[in-house]
Amino acid sequence: MKVAIGYQVHNSENIALSLRQHLDNGYNFIVAPLVHPRVKKFVPYSDVFLGGSERSKLVVYIPKRDYNLKNNCSLIESEFNYANHIGVNTMLIDCPDNRVALKNLSDIINRQFVSSSEHFNEHQAPSVCIKVPLIPYKSYSSKWRDDEPDVDYDESWEKWNFIRMITQSHPKLFVALELNGDPIDPERIERWFGEPIVMALLSTSSFLTNSSKYPVLSKAYQQLIQKLNFKLAGNFSFVINGNNLHGHLKHYLQYINHLKSTDLFEDKISKFCLGYEDVLQIPLQPLKDNLDSLVYEVFETDDIKYQQYELAIYKAMKKIDKTDMYVILLFIPSFLSMINFLNCITNRFNSVAMVVGAGRGPLVEKALKAAEQSKKYVTIYAVEKNVNAIVTLDVLRDLRWGGNAGLSNGVVQIINEDMRYWAAPRKADLVISELLGSFGDNELSPECLDGIWNYVTKETINIPRSYSSYMCPVQSHKLYSQLLIDKKINNNPYDYGYVVHVRNAYLIDDPQKVFTFVHDDLTKPPNERDNSRAKTMTFRSKLKTVCHGFVGYFDCCLYDDIYLSIVPSTQNANMFSWFPIYFPFQVPFNVDPNDEIVIHLTRNVGNNSVWYEWTVQQPTPSKIHNLKGKHYSISLH
């Protein structure tokens, strides 16, 4: 957990002194206004001239105001300009209650973003954090009243979403979420986890007092913070505000630091994926490009995946039935005939496994181990087109796999060929591959396995046996706003699929199965197969939300009851070889509770490439994204 902790100073005429005092107490930054809350004209505190290192530790706070009033509009514009002038990185603005005031504030913020972009100093403009309460204040106060008013639990989110829409999901717009009252229902909390929260505000009154008179948080708050840390990958800050109620302000800091050090905030996958959270990446194209050694190395460290493969290979080898050679030997009349017969039957009675797309050999290792466990002797053909990976395979064959003589449980042959065009000397009993992508078929596993039809039989076992893609609509300001930055380089960033370690996102509905490929019989030639697919999916929203695209997953049956999955409800724990895939919509759209979201997705196969096209049919029809694979396609060559 790498969060920073700040303290909110509501009124200090000497900001520099206040900052140093709180830094001495252990806080990382302060939140403070530039002007006195009651002033009507912009007259900044005299001592706001901070050093370079100090400026990054000041967040400018702008309290709640009525932006129906022209004076308040002028005041915040002056604060924006002055904050930019003195080099402040972040501004925290308390969201107004009035709808018209909200519109005026949104327009002011949008003008600031547009102005900084036009003057080519967008990177220097301060980020804007909108302060909204987790629980609407009306709800928080109603529990103390007999006449409970009607409470709109979506009010805070709707205000934030209104500003977001006006500013077109600007990448410098963020949420500062005030953790007030008892946590609301889980679904609404999940929706907040799809927003760009960079600050979590905790009032000193939210802390309980333990037997030692120190501040602590309730179990409900601890669980909320744990989930917040996971969804935001630790990329947020705490802000403590309010009067000191527990002896010393540093006690709140010490308690949060204690939480940061507990196992409650550890997660194994984060260690392997650190730095990749919510970062958009173009998917690999293994047929077009040779993977480098580092990519192989990362994939090979996934113990869970290879444990599942080893178990599946073991079960498949136990299933392969070969005639008992020792009974037949009784009928051999001479020693010479016996030698000839032994040479002849070697091909017939040894199991033949073909690891296609062998990479640097992890599945070869698993096949040899499975052969030993199942008391089989196996001939393994490791087929790999990457000439650089072949070098590693040759070394492993000599040093670990017994060279030409092989091991007691098998021998390995290295083949530097594209699996689709290799003229195999024998038929395979078992074909093993790891050609799956984040969406199952998006790295062209179907097309690759179609090409091995001439060295399999109807009895050949294929691992994996089958795989399916899944998808669901997603709300993720963070994923979508990155495309606004990419658009300056790529004019069509919305027509691509992106591999991404999804964290800061809200799944609007449960994932549904899309396309399935089954490899029970691989003997049909490619010209008799059709790997194109099309499906229309209907989802339903539980809450008001905004849809930024859809996220894709896959699961696969390796063999029998051995599965791999990255689908959230069935995923293998601690497996990290695959991140989900994100397909954006160019124009995000608002969704009301119980609205149907209808998405049409096609998988298209051409002579040279495979590509996806996607479109929204309801509630707001969209263009066909990536029409004819113009921008994003997966090469077959």
**Three-state DSSP string of 233-289:** CCCCEEEEECCCCCCCCHHHHHHHHHHHCCHHHCCHHHHHHCCCECCCECCCCCCCC
pLDDT at 49 > cutoff 70: no
Report how far residue 271's alpha carbon sits from residue 2's, in angstroms, rounded to the nearest whole number: 13
Q: Give 341's pLDDT tier (boundaries 50, 70, 90).
A: very low
- What is residue 144's DSSP assignment? T
**Could you tell me what percent of the chain has a pLDDT over 90?**
75
Report how far residue 539's alpha carbon sits from residue 553's, in angstroms, rounded to the nearest whole number: 16
Burial category of 331 from C-beta neighbours within 10 Å (exposed 0-12, middle 13-18, buried 19 and up): exposed
Residue 126 CB coordination number (10 Å): 20
* 158 assigned to a ligand binding site: no
Q: Amino acid letter at 2?
A: K
**Could you tell me what percent of the chain has a pLDDT over 70?**
89
* 470 assigned to a ligand binding site: no
Concatenate the DSSP letters of all residues of 448-511 into one string: HHHTTGGGEEEEEEEES-EEEEEEEEEE-HHHHHHHHHHTTT-S-GGGS-EE-B--S-EESS--
Structure tokens at 562: 């051995």
Q: What is the CATH number of domain 466-635?
A: 2.70.160.11
State the sign of the Cα–Cα–Cα–Cα dihedral 490, 505, 444, 587: negative
Choose, from 443, 459, 528, 596, the residue flagged as catalytic. 443
- The 10s digit of each residue's pLDDT in 213-261 is 999 999 999 999 999 999 998 899 999 999 999 999 999 999 999 998 8
CATH class of 5-265: alpha beta
- For residues 320-348, average pLDDT: 44
Contacts of 260 (CB under 8 A, 6+ apart): 1, 3
- What is residue 331's DSSP assignment? G
Instruction: Order the strands of the 533-540 sheet from edge to edge.
Output: 533-540, 596-605, 609-618, 634-635
Closest by CA to 106, choosing from 117, 116, 93, 115, is 93
- The 10s digit of each residue's pLDDT in 142-170 is 443 444 556 678 999 999 999 999 999 99
* 535 assigned to a ligand binding site: no
> Which of 234-237's residues contact partners 24+ apart within 8 Å by CB, and which partners?
234/1, 234/2, 234/3, 234/265, 235/2, 235/3, 235/198, 235/277, 236/3, 236/197, 236/198, 236/199, 236/200, 237/3, 237/4, 237/5, 237/6, 237/28, 237/29, 237/198, 237/199, 237/200
Q: Give 56's pLDDT tier (boundaries 50, 70, 90).
A: confident
pLDDT at 417 > cutoff 50: yes
- For residues 450-468, average pLDDT: 97
Helical segments of 125-218, H only: 137-142, 155-166, 186-192
Q: Which of 41-50, 118-127, 171-180 has the highest mean pLDDT?
A: 171-180
Report how far residue 614's alpha carbon sits from residue 601's, in angstroms, rounded to the nearest whole number: 5
* Pairing verdict, β 351-356 and 378-383: parallel
* 150 assigned to a ligand binding site: no
443 as an active site residue: the answer is yes
Bigger pLDDT: 334 or 486?
Answer: 486
- Say which range, 218-232, 390-404, 416-430, has the weakest mean pLDDT: 218-232
Each domain of the chain, given as residue ranges in start order, spans: 5-265, 293-434, 466-635
- The 10s digit of each residue's pLDDT in 570-599 is 999 989 999 999 999 999 999 999 999 999
Choose, from 190, 365, 434, 613, the residue flagged as catalytic. 434
pLDDT at 1 > cutoff 70: no
pLDDT at 16 > cutoff 70: yes
Report how far residue 450's alpha carbon sits from residue 528's, in angstroms, rounded to the nearest whole number: 10
Closest by CA to 599, choosing from 484, 509, 503, 468, is 509
Q: Which helix (H) or strand (E) holds 16?
A: helix 15-24
* Pairing verdict, β 545-559 and 562-565: antiparallel
* 305 assigned to a ligand binding site: yes
Q: Which residue has the tokens 């009651």?
A: 38
Report how far residue 278's alpha carbon sits from residue 569's, in angstroms, rounded to the nearest whole number: 20
Report pLDDT for 132: 97
DSSP three-state, residue 336: helix
SS3 per-residue string spanning 376-424: CCEEEEEECCCHHHHHHHHHHHHHCCCCCCCECCEEEEEECCCCCCCCC
Mean pLDDT of the chain: 89
pLDDT at 336 > cutoff 60: no
* Architecture of the domain defined by 293-434: 3-Layer(aba) Sandwich (3.40)
* 384 assigned to a ligand binding site: yes
Residues forming a β-bridge with 470 = 513, 553
The pTM of the full predicted model, rounded to 2 decimals, is 0.91
Answer for the pair 94, 64: CB distance below 8 angstroms, yes or no: yes
Closest by CA to 504, choosing from 52, 198, 245, 106, is 198
